[in-house]
A and B are shown apart, each in its own frame.
Chain A
Amino acid sequence: MAARHKGVETKYYEARDGVLRALRNCDRRTFLRISAATMGAVLAKGLMPPHTFQLVEVAGASTAPEIGKGFAGQGASGERPFTFAYISDAHLYERTLNQRFVRAIVKAVDDVNALDPQPDFVLYGGDLAQLGEPSQLELGRQILMGLKAPVKMMVGEHDWFLDLGEKWQELFGPPTYSFDWKGVHVVVLQSVYEADFWTARKMTAEERMQTVAGLDNAVQSRFEVGDKQREWLKNDLAKVPATTPIVVFSHSPLYKYYRNWNFWTEDADEVQAILKPYERVTVIHGHTHQMLFNQIDNISFYGMLSTAWPWPYAPEGLPKLTVQMNRADPFDQFDGCGDGQATTSAEGVVDKIYNLWDRNPVTVKASYLRSFGKVDRPPEPQFASY
């Protein structure tokens, strides 16, 4: 190209490289002058310095909260409402390879740590790693240890298909569990099992992982909760009264949105049938990287934002109740990404805040979904999908 047009991130890296180069060969007096000038510029712009300069190495496991061990039984019943936060879909590579995604999840951790009061817990929504490598999962664990609130972990397909969950489970425990919290029954599912497509194709573990990591290939199978886990869910709910509010976390949406991209759970209808007897059910899922909500019978569904990148809305199948988020600005790394909070009301239904970075947050109330769109419609986007 004739002219060089650079993104904020590229310019930032170049500026940083320049500063570091200058620092490498300057005396003390020059160093002080550069420091003063830098601080002056920062103050003049009213900016805090960007996150990357403050990348915090989290201290060792001994002082950090235990991740994935849960706190089942700590919650007394009948203490609604309460708030929980989420961070999801960080898709981490090794830090040395990719700083961009590291910077994004650290930003989310900072966001959540800044909440006052602190949420009761933080749900991590899956896809901590990009390609399931132990080093990627360990890096993610280290970053999440920086959270002040207790963390509940959920697994995504990017965490799973290199070693079929071995490393993830070693770090975070079983992928399927439930607990009661302040009168709400909370279930975390592993919704991204896939029928074996790799053995017949003689794929290596890496090839299997790479295939699942792509959305738009027809090679992989569809996500499913599976017979065994559905049986577990039935048993788990058997002791829960129909009046108890239920919150289900799943990585994939527990309904059928768009099959080609696995915005989809093959046995979603069967799972929904298990949840049918309960009056107030909220499903919160990752994977789709966009503002996404739906209501099917008694079940309200909310998608989570990704910290790493937003996904376009699928060409078909978008739930009617979903109000699209504005198109993301590709020139802004953080646009269309973010994290979020959810608050259970006294009735046990869940309002959700989409904390979209660099934009106004969008609140989607349970009343909007439960009235099938009659009240409390969220603000419309200025620019929907092409």
Chain B
Amino acid sequence: MTKIKSLADLRKLKDEVQSKIKLRENSDNPDHVVQIKVGMATCGIASGAKETMNSFIEELEQEAIDAVVSQTGCMGFCYAEPTVEVTLPNKEPVLFGHVHKEKVREIIDVYIKRGELIDGIIPINFKTIDD
């Protein structure tokens, strides 16, 4: 593929992508896809949340799992950063702590694919935050 240098190149890329994928309806309907929020405040960034987010994006792409990976603020569990909140469709959000590369694999393989809980879940009474 040619190098992308300008917005015009990006527009071309968009057209290619658009013709390849039929736009999935579920991207408008987040209730039907796996939602992943990576804590990315100072504490998260300092402990490598950027790498965690990248591995999630890459691994999920490889596994062809429909998911929305986004970032969120600090959830108050700085000691356990990088923290990641995973919401499976129609389930309560679950927060995992100390999520580095290997843990990303484990979360995808065990929790997202099979729905089994794994070690490293933060508090039971955790509620999602809005900002």
Instruction: Check if A and B associate.
Output: no
